[in-house]
């Protein structure tokens, strides 16, 4: 059985790692998240992945021609 099945997470495989990080950086990050080491590192990794995805979307800026009227979309929100 793999690690993901052992933890009840059938969608993803978990990987156990050892990292060395500056103690003060970890303490500040944990204070911000209010979580333990594992959840703090997971949150940081997700944030980094989100930043990378945003960067990829920014590279596409100006390459699509949208036919939807932005004012009509704004009216639809009201």
pLDDT at 32: 97
Asked if pLDDT for residue 62 goes beyond 70, the answer is yes
CA distance 32 to 24: 12
pLDDT at 1: 46
Residue with token string 């979307």: 57
pLDDT at 31: 98
pTM of the entire predicted model: 0.65
Q: Which residues contact 12 (CB under 8 A, 6 or more apart)?
A: 4
The pLDDT tens digits of the residues spanning 38-59 come to 999 999 999 999 999 999 999 9
pLDDT at 74: 87
């Amino acid at each position: 059985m793999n690690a993901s099945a052992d933890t009840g997470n059938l969608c993803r495989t978990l990987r156990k790692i050892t990292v060395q990080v500056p103690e003060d950086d970890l303490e500040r990050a944990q204070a911000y998240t209010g979580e333990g080491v594992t959840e703090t590192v997971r949150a940081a990794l997700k944030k980094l992945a989100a930043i990378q995805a945003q960067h990829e979307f920014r590279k596409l800026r100006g390459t699509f021609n949208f036919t939807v009227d932005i004012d009509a979309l704004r009216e639809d929100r009201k």
